[in-house]
Amino acid sequence: MRNNSTNKKSLRKIVSGLLAGVLLVFIYSSCNNSTNNSNSVSDNNLKGAQKKGLIKLLLGNGQNLFRSVNLGLGYKVVLGLERKIPDENDTDDVSYTFPIDTLQPDSINEPIDSVNYFKITYYFDREKLNEIDEDIYLETDSNAAIVLDRLTEYLSSKYGDYVSQNDSRIWNLSHKGKKEWVSLSDQSEEYDNGKLQLVFYSEDI
């Protein structure tokens, strides 16, 4: 009788030990998966923030055609909307050079990287804004291809499908009854590094 009782107690201890081990493995596995999922979410959020930051940096928050301006604005108005001293400034065109910083898009006075930066030129006809050129310089043509896809996705979501013309992607739109165009092209083959050009244009100013 004592031997049977002792055997039963030993069996219970073994079973209990096995159950405890299984439970510990399950808890560890759940915690590890939870951590990985959390890291994955954080990574995705960071990538989303960088993507959103880049578009906002280059094009603005979407409330205007380009950054803080619309075509047709006066020379002095446009000059007052950019918070930086222009590189060149006359009544026909005004140009600015900015650093590319996707995490801090308002850091406009940071030193300019000689490889990654963008330049904006506002053109005026009779002191009215009728064209905006944005040249985006990137370290490699593969980086330019990535930014090209991001800009295409954003512009298509806002203006619809584009038309291909002379290696450019063209969007037709209208603002207050006036016809406007947006052109996006990859000019990397003409440069040692990556280069994109955005043009916003209207003849109805």
Nearest to 118 by CA among 101, 139, 131, 135: 135
CB-based contact 53:147 (threshold 8 Å): no
How far is 111 from 56, CA to CA, in rounded Å? 19
For residues 169 and 194, is the Cβ–Cβ distance under 8 A?
no
- Supply φ then ψ for residue 85, to 5 degrees: -70, 130
Domain ranges of the chain: 54-201
Burial of 137 (0-12, 13-18, 19+ CB in 10 A): buried
d(CA 147, CA 34): 33
Q: How many CB atoms lie within 10 A of CB 122?
A: 26
pLDDT tens-place values along the chain, 205 residues long: 444 444 444 545 544 444 444 333 433 344 444 434 434 333 444 344 455 688 999 999 999 999 999 999 999 999 999 888 999 998 899 999 999 877 676 677 778 888 899 999 999 999 999 999 999 999 999 999 999 999 999 999 999 999 999 889 999 998 788 899 999 999 999 988 899 999 999 987 7
